[in-house]
Amino acid sequence: MADIIDAVKKAIINTIESMKLADVMYGIVDNTAPLIINIDQKLSLKQSQIIVPKHLTEYQIVVNINGIDQSCIIKNALKKNDNVALIRAQGGQKFVVLGVLE
């Protein structure tokens, strides 16, 4: 009976590991145009694999100061050598940048 339980446990573990569920990873921005993030010596993420939220880009907003609309550019884009935290999406093909680490 113990052999059957061990076999079921191994099958469950193998199934979960093969799903490549979401996982937190860390990397360093190697290039910004096109965006490349190095996870380690074996894994470099290309721009097509990376999802960058708006707050980690350069974008324009309009603010109203004393009744006058003013355009402001928010310069928060990723820079070379930024240490970043990422989440590997289920399946392992896409990575979402969570933020820049200190």
The DSSP letter of residue 89 is: P
Residue 53 lies in a domain: yes
Residue 4 lies in a domain: no
Q: What is the pLDDT of residue 16?
A: 74
As a whole number of Å, the end-to-end CA separation of the chain is 52
CA distance 43 to 99: 19
Average pLDDT over residues 47-65: 95
46 pLDDT band, cuts 50/70/90, is: very high
Residue 2 lies in a domain: no
Is the separation of the CB atoms in 32 and 79 below 8 Å?
A: yes
Considering only residues 41 and 44, tell me which one the structure prediction assigns the higher pLDDT: 44
Q: What is the pLDDT of residue 48?
A: 94
Number of domains in the chain: 1
Residue 10 lies in a domain: no
Residue 14 lies in a domain: no
What CATH number did the domain enclosing 73 receive?
2.40.50
Residue 68 has pLDDT above 90, yes or no: yes
Residue 35 lies in a domain: yes
Residue 6 lies in a domain: no
Boundaries of domain holding 89: 22-100
Mean pLDDT estimate for the chain: 90
Residue 3 lies in a domain: no
